[in-house]
Amino acid sequence: MHELSLLCPEDRVDVLSDALDALDALSVSVEDADAQTPAEQALFGEPGMPPPKDGWQRSRMVALFAQEAAAKEAAVLLGAQDFFEDCQLLGIQTVEDQDWVRLTQSQFAPVEVTPEFWIVPTWHEPPEQARQIIRLDPGLAFGTGTHPTTRMCLRWIAQHGVQGQRVLDYGCGSGILAIGAAKYGATNIDAVDIDDAAVTSTELNAQANGVQLKAGLPDKAQGHYQTVLANILATPLKVLAPLLCSYVAPGGHLVLAGILERQAEQLQAAYAPWVALEVTDTQEGWILMTAKLLARPAECTL
């Protein structure tokens, strides 16, 4: 494999991506050319929404080609185009053959939730201090424990306890939150997601961890739960406000994640008719918002 690297301004990312695709690039990636410098730009986007920008002010594009000759030809053809003005060829380099499985595994080490609670890939031994572990490998569904939102949700479960509770994990992804609830004593757990792959992943991960839960599409969620967990993103969480609140039993807890610090007030406003959300944890620009449903207002049903 051979990589063709380019430097271009933000307004050329889209046209260059199309051109590289037409030139039979196997893949094209875009990253901030100023990453890890004071000029680095943070771009945040959400699934189902238009991207905030096509690229960064100074974007580094990397196209992968099967043959060196194809990469060189692409460089020559792009350089002759009017739209390549203000762009720069950074070079062509060979991608060395590697043990990609081992390389991927090396990127996933045990993750600490609390000093005693860890997420451990199957190819690692648990840390000596671990008293509770979830065995989880990267897969098709979101949720390996490396993201701050997942860790905050699991930390809440560990610190607040769900012993004997009925728990709902809405948007379960890999099922990691549902599995965490089972590890801490929840006895009746529903894990639901709109993605069939997530449902399958949750079932397999539950089996691997020796816990019992019921996974399925969202219509599997029925009745009231003492704890409702939803680690999604701010936009769908706002849309789902009446539905999620309808699942919380009187005296139960609502635990929401996938929310940036700047989105706190938006979520509080969206849920205000039913519960008073509070920020109860924060990590790396993300927040955990929780609420306790003291009573069930009539409008908190569907």
What is the token pair recorded at 279?
Answer: 């920020």
Comparing 118-122, 153-157, 184-188, the range with the smallest average pLDDT is: 118-122
Cα distance between residue 159 and residue 113, in whole Å: 10
pLDDT digits (tens, 9 = 90+) for 90-126: 999 998 776 655 556 556 788 899 999 999 988 888 8
* pLDDT at residue number 146: 77
pLDDT digits (tens, 9 = 90+) for 160-174: 989 999 999 999 999
Give buried/exposed letters for 163-175 (b at 16+ CB in 10 A, else e): eebbbbbbbbbbb
Under 8 Å between Cβ of 257 and 225: no
The chain-wide mean pLDDT, for the chain, equals 89
Local confidence band at 253 (pLDDT 50, 70, 90 cut-offs): very high
Cα distance between residue 88 and residue 7, in whole Å: 5
pLDDT digits (tens, 9 = 90+) for 254-272: 999 999 999 999 999 999 9
pLDDT of residue 48 exceeding 80, the answer is no
pLDDT digits (tens, 9 = 90+) for 190-219: 999 999 989 999 999 999 999 999 999 999
Name the pTM for this structure: 0.68
* pLDDT at residue number 302: 43
The side-by-side arrangement of strands in the sheet containing 88-94 is 27-32, 58-65, 2-9, 88-94
Cα distance between residue 124 and residue 146, in whole Å: 15
pLDDT of residue 284 exceeding 50, the answer is yes
Local confidence band at 35 (pLDDT 50, 70, 90 cut-offs): confident
